[in-house]
């Protein structure tokens, strides 16, 4: 198996140089970068289980790098660390298990290769001892299901068709959200939930877009399907909206969601369940669409939700979706308009005591007045929330152009 390394440094040139040295010695090695100070801090449960070693590079002063290495090694079973310190060696250093230091005013390739070989050998020996322990397989237990290659951290939720876990993926080398489907149905069954589950992977896995959730893995274990996807430690848009959003930030979020819809619609797919709980945040402030379980390819021959059956969340449904009429990408744009209205105004445009009352209002009720301070955004809101699809933006691309014309920066 090729060497797998995690390279941590706050300067891009350090990360590039280390990767260059690695690739010269091991052309098939995989070196993953972690941009210290830019990327999200590593989860407290992360143990770098998918790496042979972790390389931390730091120039003087190196106290922060030493502290980082000490904190990581304090975690159970953390991978060996190679601490590259760009300074002259001190008179003496304390030997720390799992820590390999390399000193010098510049990165010495021969020295780096030597310590990586030692660290990798040490890691393989540690793993061999761990695998011999009778409780080793328990780390891969998700309920009563064993999914090797994914270390279970904890269950974080459940739905009608799956349980949701936080896990560390050894293959991806990162924390993931693992959705474990309750059961793989018999092929003779027409099990709609399972079709949607597989469709979520098929839609998203083929897209490489910053504002669409990243899918790492799909598989079957113990007759249960699972899907491993990007973990968002910053939570969802619903949580973020508990605090007021400035109009500029709301527009910035709208632009990102519109960009994701543009990518989805471009491959003939509708989301059909766009709502704040299905919009996740990264620590850098970017947004990401998730939960494509209700998404439907426009060209699909089989209607997974049956003939004219309503699926989605009433507060965010377009008038045509709420009344089980035919829908297209303009329905997603209406749902996006509801989210945008809520971001701006701090409340939903339509509420009611029952789902049917809300659905009726989407179809028949006038849009509540837009506060004067949001006058420059009123045109966007009203076009997104037009009752008739013909009166809305006709595509996400058209919406993106209208947003750009406002010339507002976050």
For residue 17, give every residue at least 6 positions away whose Cβ sits within 8 Å of its Cβ, in sequence order, or none. 107
Determine whether 64 is an active site residue.
Answer: no
Burial of 245 (0-12, 13-18, 19+ CB in 10 A): middle
Burial of 172 (0-12, 13-18, 19+ CB in 10 A): buried
On whether the CB atoms of residues 382 and 338 are closer than 8 A, the answer is no
On whether the CB atoms of residues 156 and 166 are closer than 8 A, the answer is yes
Helix (H, G, I), strand (E, B) or coil at 308: coil
End-to-end CA distance of the chain: 45
H or E stretch at 270:
strand 269-270
On whether the CB atoms of residues 218 and 248 are closer than 8 A, the answer is no
> Which residue among the candidates 273, 303, 332, 391 is catalytic per the annotation?
273
Closest listed residue to residue 156, CA positions, set 76, 223, 236: 236
> Whole-angstrom Cα distance, residue 196 to residue 101?
50
On whether the CB atoms of residues 350 and 356 are closer than 8 A, the answer is no
> Whole-angstrom Cα distance, residue 35 to residue 358?
46
In angstroms, the Cα distances linking 170 to 146, 149, 217 are 14, 5, 11
Helix (H, G, I), strand (E, B) or coil at 290: coil
> Whole-angstrom Cα distance, residue 19 to residue 30?
9
The conformation of residue 182, written as its DSSP 8-state character, comes to S
Tokens 């006709």, residue located: 394
**Catalytic residue list:** 273
């Amino acid at each position: 198996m090729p060497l797998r390394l995690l390279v941590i440094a706050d300067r891009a040139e350090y990360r590039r140089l280390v990767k260059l040295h690695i690739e010269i010695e091991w052309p098939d090695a995989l070196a993953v970068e972690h941009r210290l100070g830019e990327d999200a801090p590593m989860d407290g449960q992360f143990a770098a289980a998918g790496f042979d070693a972790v390389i931390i590079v730091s120039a003087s002063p190196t106290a922060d790098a030493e502290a980082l290495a000490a904190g990581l090694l304090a975690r159970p079973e953390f991978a060996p660390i190679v601490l590259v310190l760009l300074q002259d060696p001190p008179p003496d250093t304390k030997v720390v298990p799992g820590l390999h230091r390399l000193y010098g005013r510049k990165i010495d390739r021969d020295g780096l290769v030597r310590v990586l070989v030692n660290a990798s050998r040490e890691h393989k020996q540690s793993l061999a001892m761990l695998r011999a322990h009778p409780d080793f397989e328990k780390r891969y237990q998700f309920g009563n299901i064993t999914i090797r290659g994914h270390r279970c951290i904890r269950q974080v939720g459940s739905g009608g068709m799956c349980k949701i876990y936080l896990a560390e993926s050894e293959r991806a080398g990162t924390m993931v959200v693992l959705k474990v489907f309750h059961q793989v149905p018999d092929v003779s069954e027409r099990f709609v939930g399972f079709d949607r589950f597989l469709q979520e992977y098929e839609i998203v896995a083929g897209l490489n877009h910053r504002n669409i959730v990243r899918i790492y893995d799909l598989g079957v274990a113990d007759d249960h399907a699972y899907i491993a996807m990007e973990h968002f430690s910053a939570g969802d848009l619903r949580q973020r909206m508990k605090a007021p959003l400035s109009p500029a930030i709301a527009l910035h979020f709208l632009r990102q969601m519109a960009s994701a819809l543009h990518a989805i619609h471009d491959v003939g797919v509708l989301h059909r369940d766009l709502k704040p709980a299905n919009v996740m945040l990264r620590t850098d402030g970017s947004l990401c669409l998730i939960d494509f379980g209700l998404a439907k390819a426009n060209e699909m021959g089989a209607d997974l939700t049956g003939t004219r059956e309503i699926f989605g969340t009433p507060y965010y449904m377009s008038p045509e979706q709420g009344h089980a009429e035919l829908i297209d990408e303009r329905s997603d744009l209406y749902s996006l308009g509801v989210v945008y209205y809520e971001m701006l105004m701090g409340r939903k445009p339509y509420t009611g005591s029952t789902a049917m009352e809300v659905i009726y209002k989407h179809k028949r009720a006038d849009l509540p007045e837009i506060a004067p301070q949001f006058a420059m955004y009123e045109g966007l809101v009203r076009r997104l929330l037009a009752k008739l699809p013909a009166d809305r933006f006709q595509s996400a691309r058209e919406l993106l152009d209208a947003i750009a014309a406002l010339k507002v920066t976050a």
